[in-house]
A and B are shown apart, each in its own frame.
Chain A
Amino acid sequence: AQSVTQLGSHVSVSEGALVLLRCNYSSSVPPYLFWYVQYPNQGLQLLLKYTTGATLVKGINGFEAEFKKSETSFHLTKPSAHMSDAAEYFCAVRGSSNTGKLIFGQGTTLQVKP
């Protein structure tokens, strides 16, 4: 069975600092991996996704993530945090292309301090 673990339920960084949100997955099949962001009282917005091919994936708002099969990780990074990045971030795995089912991690709340 697939599963996702996000290390750290809360991460706090200063504005301009590196953002690193950690995600490890477990999957018995080649995974399709996603990062979503949720702003207060809103739905989920896709930041980026990994399917096949290049292991470094670039997303919106300056975020990127690297798929490391050997470490079963898909950590999300951004070189310089902005106040507007404060939100909750979810890592998710989908087992195959023929399903709309996502398995989510518990989420990481990112706080950005001025």
Chain B
Amino acid sequence: KAGVTQTPRYLIKTRGQQVTLSCSPISGHRSVSWYQQTPGQGLQFLFEYFSETQRNKGNFPGRFSGRQFSNSRSEMNVSTLELGDSALYLCASSLVGSSGNTIYFGEGSWLTVV
């Protein structure tokens, strides 16, 4: 079956703009999480959505937001972009509710802010 799909794969934005990234989870997966990966900070958890509700949130400013739709697809938005927002943004999906569920990652969206 299809894996986690993220779009777009690459994008360049200007400081002050906003960006929306999209994620389609594996079919049947209801949990979607987002991570930011940078050389300096590594992999950091942004937030998790389950059944259209945010149930976990990392330590990021309010400029970072997300949502999940009824079909489990998710989007994340970053407003008022800063140079430091340049990163690889990874989406992950999983089943929840039973032990040992694997968390599957997409290929990521590379965001460059200039």
- Decide if B99 touches A101 in the complex (CB within 8 Å): no
Task: State the main secondary structure of chain B at its contact with A.
Answer: strand
Could you tell me the distance in whole angstroms from the C-beta of B26 to the nearest C-beta in chain A?
12
Number of A residues, CB within 8 Å of B? 25
**A49 touching B100 in the complex, CB below 8 Å, given contacts A90-B43, A101-B56, A102-B45:** yes
**The residue from B43, B44, B50, B107 contacting A100, defined by CB atoms under 8 A apart:** B50
Partner of B45, one of A32, A52, A97, A103: A103
- 26 A-B residue contacts at CB 8 Å? A32-B99, A34-B102, A34-B103, A36-B105, A42-B107, A42-B108, A43-B106, A44-B90, A44-B105, A46-B103, A46-B104, A49-B100, A52-B99, A90-B43, A92-B43, A97-B98, A99-B56, A99-B96, A100-B50, A100-B93, A100-B103, A101-B48, A101-B56, A101-B58, A107-B42, A107-B43
The answer for the CA separation of A5 and B60 in the assembled complex, in Å, is 22
Of chain B, the residue at the smallest CB distance from A48 is B102
The 4 closest A-B pairs by CB, nearest first: A51-B100, A100-B31, A44-B105, A104-B43
Is the beta-carbon distance between B90 and A43 smaller than 8 angstroms?
yes
A52, B33: Cβ atoms closer than 8 Å: no
